[in-house]
Every structure is written in structure tokens, then in C-alpha cells.
Structure 1
Amino acid sequence: MLPFEGVPQNRRRRAFLSRGLWLGWLRESSSGTLFLAVAVGAVTGFAAIGFRYLITGVTWLFTGYHDYAGLGRVAWGHWPGLGVWFLLLAPVVAGAIYGPVVYRFAPEARGHGVPEVMYAVTEQKGRIAPRVVVLKALASALCIGGGGSVGREGPIVQIGSAAGSTIAQVTRLDTPRVRLLVACGAAGGISATFNAPLAGLFFAMELILRNFAVESFGAVVLSSVTASVVGRAVVGDEAFLTLPDFAVRHPAEYLLYLLLGLVVGTVGVCFSKVLYAVEDFCDWIWRGPQWARPAVGGLLLGAVLLMLPQMYGVGYPVLESAVEGEYVLGMLVLLLVGKMVATSLTIGIGGSGGVFAPTLFIGAMAGTAFGQIVHHLLPTVTQSPGAYGLVGMAAALGGATRAPITAVIILFELTGEYTAILPLMTAVAVATGVSRLLSQDTIYTRKLLRRGIDLEQPHGPFATVSAGDLARAAPRPLLDTADLTTVATALEKSALGILPVLDRDGRYRGCVSARDIAEALDDSYQPESVAHLVKYLPAVTADATFHDTLAALSGYGGTGLPVVDPDHTKVIGWITYEDLLTVLHR
């Protein structure tokens, strides 16, 4: 039976009209966008809670405990007689389930999630397949619950972004709004997971949208706040991490935090390089079908868990124990290296999970180890080692992701200590700077660079168009020795009102305008040549991109600008807004 069969004609007409007005409001108005942002935040908040419980349930099925990482070397909860040997089998069984599912139905669900979202926003107009919501949650829960040493933040960012993209596609929004709702979903995922709405906001703006446009800010704020409210209403208002109090004991500690940023920033970059080196090794050595890779590789991961069971799952209990001072220096270093290896191996064998939490874990281990060393050397000057562990978490995140605002905000929200702001900013700024010195990419962008996608380069239909492609022939230039009368005559014949000026050797010196000549002719003092009236305009190089050219023309729309060679010595063309509009029309 059709939806409107048996309904009077006038009622059908009113129903269609009402539906059209409703969809029109959602698609075209700012208030409709804000309404959808709230909806995305609510959906993502509930998805984050459900995903969290799903991981807990799967972990219990595989281990007999809700979180195994912090228990140490304990026997299997379902059958203690098996001892700890179940650790060898758990990743194999989990991989045997999620491997074929991911391979068959959603290959994009493999990996750590955030690069896939960045790729969708940049290259796919924000379109993410709706099936990712379910399959990413299932695959990641099985991977983490089955011993995979990865985080839940990356998956929930991808799940939230997929939810936002699905809502945008159902309501048939235009591309900018689709991308905006994808960012809203990412913000909601971080917000609900960490109970940190500010961190969710800046994560989405800094990493997903990669700009802080005012038009996007309000919608992302609403989505992040909504997801946080949903999370707090269901699981409570307390942070999921129990962290020690923070204080700065002596002003000299700021120098130590600067050094901490240098050390931990280097560690964060090393983690990124190890992650992809292990993935390359797994790609090189594996010759079987991809759907079987997680199960076979799970044997190696299980061996790592047998040696270091603290690597099981996300590992937040181990992180808390480290910053609270329960591990000696040697154990901290072992946990740091073990996490790098276990996380890299989990991703390398085809696991599904994030690297956000492992980065925090590694930073906490490195920071606490650093704190133990400086506290031993300067006991009266330094705070407890755990304080350095907290700042190390943010520094590692800043170094690995190169998102300093997110790194500072998330640790501030987790600790609630305003006194931590200056040490956090100091260490994160240094760590981010170190990251830029040591690597051209981040832990997220490297995955895209390996596919040939550079987010730093312009994208879109005009990404490959340069100023040299658009330039018209340059007007006949003037010599800087020409007198005013000659220049005035040449400008009178020119439609541009401005002409380039060259020196005796034919090198570009600048431009002279009709206005400058008119003012000089009216002045009582008239220079002998045009050389004194030449102004060096911001010439456009031939290899300048479409967007750089558009920016350079701002303020020179009526006259245009010269196009010069890379050395800025030779005029090879001229470009105006009209040339850009011709390309847009074409």
C-alpha cells in the first residue's frame, strides 16, 4: 500500500507542502543546521556510551573481567585452570571474527579511524558510508576486547562522523554542511568519550575541518556540548580517568617542563614512525588473504600479551597507576616500549582501533619516567613524578598529532587544575615544534600521504590550476628612465590603468599607475623619470596556485597584477579577476 493511498487529495497536498517546508528549513537555514548539529551530538553521545559498554562486554567475554590491563598476570576469569594462556588465543579468535567482516563489508573500518575521516572531508565531500557506524563499532570492540592494544577514541570519532554524514545525506544537505556535520560527529565523539566538550570542539576544528571559521564554530559547539550532556546523564559527571593533583613547586620547574616537551615530543614522533614501520613490515611479510591477516597476526600479538599483559586493550588503569607512582623507572620504560610495539602490531595486522589513547599512554610513561629522574636529582625543587606524567600526556599528543590546542585543552579538562595551564602550554608548544623539525607529517596525515594525499596542498577543482595557466599577455612594459609625458601617453592607451616597469637590464622593478602620474604632473616638482614613482606590487609567480592568486589579487581587482618568473625578475604575463572568473565559468 502506498504511503498516501486512501488519503484525501487536499490532505496529501498539505502533507507534501509541510514536508517540503521542513526539509527546506533544515537544508537552507542557519537554525536548521544548528538543529541538525544538536541531533548529531545526541546520536554520537549515545553511540559513544553504547560503544563503551560494547567494549566492556566483549572484554568480559574474552577475559572474564571488565578491564584486564590493570590486573597484571591473572588467570582466565571463566576457567582459571587455563591460567594466562588464554592471552595467546584471544587476539586470534577476535581477528578471525572481525577480519572477514571488515574485509567483506567495510575496508575503511580497518585502522585507527581519524585519517579516514580527514580523507572523507577532504576528498569525498564529507560522504561516509552509513554502514561504517555499525561495522566500525563491532570491529573495534572485538579488536580491543580481544586484546588489541589500541584506543576507543579513534573509532568513536569515525562512528560519530559517519553518523553526522549519514544524517546530512538523508536530509540532502550541500557539501559544506555535510562536512560540517561530519566535524560535529567527531567533536561529539571526543566530548562524550572524555567528558570534555572543549576538547571535542577543538579536536574537530583543528584536525577535521582544519580551520576556525566562525560559521562552523557554533554548530560544532552545540554538537560537542550535547554529546557531553548525554554522556554525563547516562554515565555520570566524573572524568573516566583518576589523575593526581597538580602543582608547580618552584619557578625553575618551567625550564624542566620545557625540557620535558623536547623529550616527549621526540618520543611522540618516534611512536608515529614505529607505527608505520611495523605496518610496512607486516605488509611486506604477509602473503595470505587479507581477511585472515588479523587472526594469523593475532598469534604474535598474543605472544606480546603473554610477556606484558598490561598491554591488553586500551590500558587506562595502567596509565593511572603510572602517574600515581606505582611503577619504578625500569618498568615505565618497558611499558613505553611495549605500548609502541603492541599498538603498532595491532594496527599492522589489520586491527581496528585508535592511536589517540596509546599516544596518551606513551606520553604518561615517558613523562613519569622523566619526572622520577628529575625528582631524584632535584627533590626540593620538583613536584611528584606524576605531575610530569600528566604534562607528558599532552606533550606526546601535541608531538604526534601536531594539534597543540586540543592537547592543552583535553588535559586541562581531565585534571581541572588551572595551575597546569602554563606547564602544559610550555611543554606542548615545544613538543609541537620538535615534531615539525623531525617530521613533515603527523601520526594521522602520514597514512594519507602514503596514499598520495597531501592535506597541506590545495584541494578542489582548481587545485592544479596555476597563475601561469591563467595569465594573459603582459602589457608593453615601461623603462624606469622614461619621462612622465611618455608614461602618461602609454597609460592613456592602456585599459588597465597600470603598467609594469623594467630597469635597463630588463628586470622587473614594479608598477606605475595612472593616478601616480596624474598626481606627479599636477605637482610643482616633477621628477625627470618615472623611477621615483615606481611601486613594487606583490607580483604573482607563475607557479602560484589558484587560491594563492585569488588572495594576492585582493585590493587589486581593477588593475590586476603582473605574473613573474620564480626569481621575480622577468614579467611573463598579467592576471586579473576576469581571468579567474573565466576559469570558474568554464
Structure 2
Amino acid sequence: MSGIPTADSAGIPAGTQPPRHHFHPRISGPIHRIRQAPWALAVLAPATGAAAALGAVAFHWLADALTRVFCGHTDCASAARAAHPLIPGLGPYVLFVAPVIGGMLYGPLIHRFAPGPGGHGLPELMLAASRADGRVVLRPTLVRALASAVCIGSGGSLGRTGPIVQLGSALGSLLTRLAKAPQEHNRLLLACGAAGGVTAAFDAPLAGAFFAMELILRSYTVESFGAVAFAALGADAVTRTLSGTTVFLDLPDLAPVDAADLPPLILLGTAAAVVSVAFTRILYRVEDACTWAWRGPQWLRPAAGGLLLGALLLALPQLHGSGYQVLKTVTDGHYLPGFLLLLLAGKIFATSLTLGIGGAGGVLAPSLFIGAALGAAYADGLRTLLPGVTGPTALYALAGMAAVFAGSSHTPATAIVFAFELTGQYMVVLPVMLTVITATFTARLLFRHTIHTLKLARRGIILSSPDTRPPSAV
């Protein structure tokens, strides 16, 4: 049988070449199997949260350093009109000059390296999360984070949380691409970055997880909550290692509220809803007015508008930057009701003006500031009219903070958990819950958009459920 080919042990006829097999590790190799494994998110999510926490620490350090450069103090809002140590001859007018110089720096920076929709960036993250790819480009996000640090450090009346959340989400998007994770993980890791950013900003992991669910993903599944919770834990571990454990608001121990305190809290929630809707509307109307009035090049707009902002800060230095120290003074009850209402109106206008002239930063801190001023003024006024009915000023200030935040963003669960984690006191949950739920439902009745969705709606974008359109970068 010599003319008949035989087969070897592999079943290939003798004398023939075995077929060549091309292996594709990206498709069938062990790395791909790891990426596709159900527990892959348990690794990628905390890694994203840790990266977001590192970004938050870096941003805080940069913003603090720039604040000292521009006005000579760590917190210029509580330092009032103190002179700059290096240029004492300028006196309090350093508050007038700093926004102009800051605008000359961050205006060209944004115009040249990060053009596109400006203002507070959370609406762009919400839009990215509604897309199938969930992608956020890192480079313009880094540029805007730098611009935000310059803006806030030079006096811009905005918050740090927005830029930190954007930075965390961009890092999550980058990690998704580096790990070549499946597309269905893209949106989740973007939200994980947001959760890590909020956690690191306030040492509030639960609030970070709920923030990502309510505001970024706008939906709830067991998988998504597990992922953002893992991210918050990763961010919390990094934050505690680098910065220790702190309580954002160190309030005196609060007693349980009486039944007589519940109706005033409902009224406070209603007032907070009105204020939150007014804040949203005024912010965009001031932005429109600035756009209408400015006829020069866009890169010069922040510096020119800095003249108006500087004049406002010269009159009310408590509006400088994020104003966290002033917020704590408000909750301690050290301001008179009339001055609290002035701070409330001033913060609304200062934040709107900063965004209107082209500034970059977040609106979470301003909403907390506005709510604290409202709650403290309400408590003092109510105590004058009905002695013995109201609880301590700190309780009403905290409830007002959570209520204005929830009313402007329609995120009641985040606001309730946030208030608890800011203070570490369980007794605040019931009064805050009552105030927040009232504010959220009333705000929804008054205005269907939030401070974030209105920005998108003005561009013709209505967010509903996440879609599956082709990938596109934000």
C-alpha cells in the first residue's frame, strides 16, 4: 500500500503540510478572557476610583496653591479684605485685580486647547453616559481642570467638585481604552470615575455612589451600583491614606427633631425649591446677557468680565472661590439673617457671572452655599417669630444645603446620603429627608429641567434613556 498516503497521530495525511493557524490574542487569548470575565469590573472599578482620587488630590493641591498665589492666603473668602503679603501696597484691591489676571490666563488656555461647550461640565458627562461608547477625551478635560483651578484660585465663585468629577470620568474612560474592556463597560467606568471624584472631594463614598447612579447613569441596576460602589471604596481608601479621615462639617451633636419641627422643615423645603429654580434660571439668563453684551474675542472675555467679578468680590469677599470656610461659618450661626440673605443673592449672581464670562468650575459647592445661607436665615427668622419651635441653626442650614442641591439637580437620594456623610450624624437623616423630598417634588412641579439638563436642552438635546448610537467623543 505504498502509493496510499497514511495519516499521522494528528489525523493529517503523511507528506502534507499541516494547515497554519493564526492566533489572535485580542480575540481568544487569556487577556481577552480576563477582560470578558464577570469579575473584571471588580478590578477595573476600584482602580478607576483610586485614579479619580489621585486626580482629586492633585486638583485640590493646585487650586490651593493658586489661591495663595493670587490673594496670598489659603482661603481668601474667610480672610475678607486682608492684603497680599507680597504686595501689601495693593491692600484689599487684590480681590479686584486677581479675577482679571486669572481671566487673562485661563481664557486663552480654554480657547486654544479646549474649545467647545463651556461652563460647568457635568451636562457633558451626562451626555457621554447616554451614549453607547461613554467616552470622555482626557486632553481637553485636563486643560479644563487646569483652567478651573486658575479660575477658582483667582476668585471665580465656583466649586471644585465639577472639575474633579470630570477628571475622574476622563480617567475612567482612559482606563477602559487601555484595558481594552468591552464596550458595555465604558459607561460604567465613566460613572465609576465620577463616583470616585465625589468620594475624594468630600470623603463621602456613599454619596459618590448615589451621585453616579442618579446624575450620571440616571438608571439603576445591581451591576452598575456594585461597580460604582467598588469605585467609591477604592477612592475612599486612597483619600484616607493620603489625607486622613475628616468630617466636612463638624457640627455639635444634634438631638432628634420634635414633631413641632416638621411643618417648618416642609416650608423650608418649599422655599429651597423656589430658590433652586431661581438659581437655575438666573444662571442661564446671566450667561445669555454676557454673551449678548460681549463683542470682543472670546479668549479675552474672562479677563474683561473679571472687572465686574472683582468689583463684586471687593464688596463681598465671602463670595470668593468655593467658599467652604464661609459655609461652615454660616452653619455655625455667626451671621445675621439680613447678611445671610445678601450672601444668598450674591452667591447666585457671582456664580452666574463667573460662568457667564467664560469661567470654568462646578455648581455643586455654590448650591450648598446658597442652601446653607437660606436654611440659617430661615432658622433665625423663624426663631424670632416662634421661639422654642425650631431646632438649632446648624440643622436648618444643613437641611437647606441638601434641599437646594436636590432641587437644582433632582437627586434626592444623593442629597440625603450626602448630608449624613458630611456630618457623620444619623439624627440629621429624618429632617433632611423631609426637606429634600419636599424640595425635589416642588422643584419638579415648578420647572421640569435641572441646572444640568437645561444646558443640554438649550442645545436641542433631551436626555432620556441611554442610547446605542455610534461612538463619538465628548
2:272/2:403 contact within 8 Å kept: yes
Q: What letter matches 1:238 in structure 2?
A: T
Distance 1:46 1:109 in 2: 26
Query: Which amino acid in 1 is paired with 2:457?
Result: L
8 A contact 2:53–2:238 mirrored in 1: yes
Q: 1:161 aligns with which of 150, 160, 169?
A: 169
* Aligned with 1:224 (options 221, 227, 232): 232
Residue in 1 aligned with 2:359? 351
Alpha-carbon distance change, 251 to 171 in structure 1, aligned in 2, over 3 angstroms? same
Task: Tell me the TM-score normalised to structure 1 length.
Answer: 0.74
CA contact (8 A) 1:63 1:78 kept: no
Query: 2:193, 2:33 → 1: CA distance?
Result: 21
Aligned partner of 1:247 among 246, 255, 258 = 255
Are the structure 2 counterparts of residues 205 and 223 from structure 1 closer, same or farther at C-alpha, using a change threshold of 3 Å?
Answer: same
Aligned to 1:243, the other structure's residue is in SS state coil
Asked if residue 403 in structure 1 is aligned to residue 399 in structure 2, the reply is no
Q: Taking structure 1 as reference, are residues 244 and 155 closer, same or farther at Cα in structure 2, changes over 3 Å only?
A: farther
The residue aligned with 1:430 is 438
1:443 equivalent among 437, 451, 457: 451
Give, as a single letter, the amino acid of the residue that structure 2 aligns with 1:30: P
Q: 1:81 aligns with which of 77, 89, 98?
A: 89
- CA deviation string 1:505-561 (max 9, x = no partner): xxxxxxxxxxxxxxxxxxxxxxxxxxxxxxxxxxxxxxxxxxxxxxxxxxxxxxxxx
Distance in 2 (alpha carbons) for counterparts of 1:241 and 1:60: 23
Aligned residue for 1:380, secondary structure, equals coil
Q: Distance in 1 between matches of 2:28 and 2:391?
A: 63
Contact 2:131 2:469 in 1 (8 A): no
Return the match for 2:463 from 431, 452, 455.
Answer: 455
Rate the CA distance shift 1:132–1:31 in 2: closer, same or farther, 3 A. farther
The Cα of 1:25 is off from its aligned counterpart by: 3.6
Do 2:248 and 2:423's aligned partners in 1 also have CA atoms closer than 8 Å? no
Structure with greater strand share of residues: 1
CA deviation digits over 1:399-432, x for unaligned, max 9?
1000000000000111122111111111001100
Secondary structure at the residue paired with 2:78?
helix
In the alignment, residue 197 of structure 2 is paired with which amino acid? Answer: G
Corresponding residue for 1:67? 75
Within a 5 Å distance, the mapping from 1:316-355 to structure 2 comes to 316-355=324-363
Secondary structure of the corresponding residue to residue 107 of structure 1? coil
Contact 1:151–1:355 under 8 Å retained in 2? yes
For residues 45 and 229 of structure 2, the distance between their equivalents in structure 1, rounded to whole angstroms, comes to 9
The one-letter code matched in structure 2 to 1:280 is D
Q: Residues of 1 paired with 2:428 and 2:329: CA distance?
A: 20
Q: 1:108 Cα shift?
A: 4.8
TM-score, with structure 2 as normaliser = 0.91
CA separation of 1:153 and 1:309: change in aligned 2, threshold 3 A: same
Contact 1:26 1:33 (C-alpha < 8 Å) held by counterparts = no
Equivalent in 255, 264, 273 of residue 265 of structure 1: 273
1: CA distance between counterparts of 2:275 and 2:281?
10
Q: Judging changes above 3 Å, is the alpha-carbon distance between structure 1 residues 53 and 330 closer, same or farther for their aligned structure 2 residues?
A: same
**1:303-318 paired onto structure 2 within 5 Å:** 303-318=311-326
1:392 is aligned, of 390, 400, 410, to 400
Q: In 2, distance between residues paired with 1:439 and 1:451?
A: 18
SS at match of 1:292: helix
Deviation for aligned residue 1:194 = 0.6
> 8 Å contact 2:416–2:429 — kept in the other structure?
yes
The equivalent residue for 2:3 is none
- 2:348 and 2:210 map into 1 onto residues whose CA distance is 26
Please tell me whether the aligned partners of residues 44 and 163 of structure 1 are also in contact (alpha carbons under 8 angstroms): yes
Task: Label 1:54 to 1:403 Cα distance change in 2 as closer, same or farther (>3 A).
Answer: same
Q: Aligned residue for 2:426?
A: 418
Residue 386 of structure 1 and its aligned partner are, at CA, apart by 2.1
Deviates more, 1:20-29 or 1:375-384: 20-29
Which residue of 88, 99, 113 corresponds with 1:91? 99
Paired residues of 1:243 and 1:320 also in contact (CA < 8 A): no
CA distance in 1, matches of 2:335, 2:442: 28
Contact 1:45–1:189 (8 Å) recurs in 2: yes
How far off its partner does 1:122 sit? Answer: 1.7
Structure 1 position 321, deviation (Å) = 0.6
- Name the amino acid aligned to 2:420: F
Change (3 A) 1:92 1:371: same
Residue aligning to 1:378: 386
Secondary structure, aligned partner of 2:162: helix
Per-residue CA deviations over 1:24-83 (Å, capped at 9, x if unaligned) read 145311222221111111110111111111110000000111111112221123222210
**Which structure 2 residues correspond to residues 8-47 of structure 1 after superposition, within 5 A?**
21=29, 23-47=31-55
Shift of 1:127: 1.1
User: Quick one: which amino acid aligns to residue 288 of structure 2?
Assistant: D
Structure 1 residue 23, shift from structure 2 partner: 3.6
CA positional deviation for 1:280: 0.8
Percent identity for Structure 1 against Structure 2: 49
Larger Rg: 1
Task: Quote how far apart the aligned CAs of 1:286 are.
Answer: 1.2
Show CA shifts across 1:258-308 (max 9, x none): 111001111111111111110111111111121111111111111111111
CA contact (8 A) 2:273 2:440 kept: yes
> Structure 2: how far apart are the matches of 1:65 and 1:109?
32
Distance 1:67 1:109 in 2: 29
> CA offsets per residue over residues 427-454 of structure 1, 9 Å max, x none?
0011001111110100010001011111
RMSD: 2.0
Q: Where does structure 1 lack aligned partners over 5 or more consecutive residues?
A: 1-12, 463-586
**Which residue does 2:282 correspond to in 1?**
274
SS in 2 for 1:70: coil
- What does the per-residue CA deviation read over 1:183-235, in whole Å, with 9 as the maximum and x for residues that have no partner? 00000000011100000000000110111111212111110111011111111
Provide the C-alpha distance between the structure 2 equivalents of 1:155 and 1:240, rounded to a whole number of angstroms. Answer: 19
Q: Does the 8 Å CA contact 2:132/2:184 hold for their aligned counterparts? A: no
8 A contact 1:157–1:185 mirrored in 2? yes
The AA in structure 2 aligned to 1:127 is: R
Q: Letter of the aligned partner of 1:264 in structure 2?
A: A
Conserved in 1, the CA contact under 8 Å of 2:42 and 2:227?
yes
Q: CA–CA distance in 2 between the matches of 1:321 and 1:152?
A: 19
Cα distance in structure 2, aligned partners of 1:239 and 1:278: 35
Deviation at 1:379, TM superposition (A): 2.2
Q: Residues 376-409 of structure 1: CA distance to partner in whole angstroms, max 9, x if unpaired?
A: 2222222122210011000001110000000000
Residue 449 of structure 2 aligns to which amino acid in structure 1? D
The answer to whether the Cα contact below 8 Å between 1:92 and 1:294 also exists between their aligned partners in 2 is yes
Q: Is the 8 A contact 1:26 1:171 kept in 2?
A: no
d(CA) in 2 for partners of 1:446, 1:191 = 26
> Conserved in 2, the CA contact under 8 Å of 1:48 and 1:193?
yes
Deviation at 1:22, TM superposition (A): 5.3
Partners of 1:414 and 1:65 lie apart in 2 by 25
SS at match of 1:83: helix
Q: CA deviation at 1:312?
A: 0.7
Segments of 5+ residues of structure 2 without an aligned counterpart are: 1-20
CA distance in 2, matches of 1:274, 1:227: 35
Structure 1 CA distance, aligned partners of 2:243 and 2:376?
29
Once the two structures are superposed, residues 236-264 of structure 1 have per-residue CA deviations (whole angstroms, 9 ceiling, x without a partner) of 10123333433345211011111110011
Match of 2:125 among 117, 120, 138: 117
* Correspondence for 1:290 among 269, 273, 298: 298
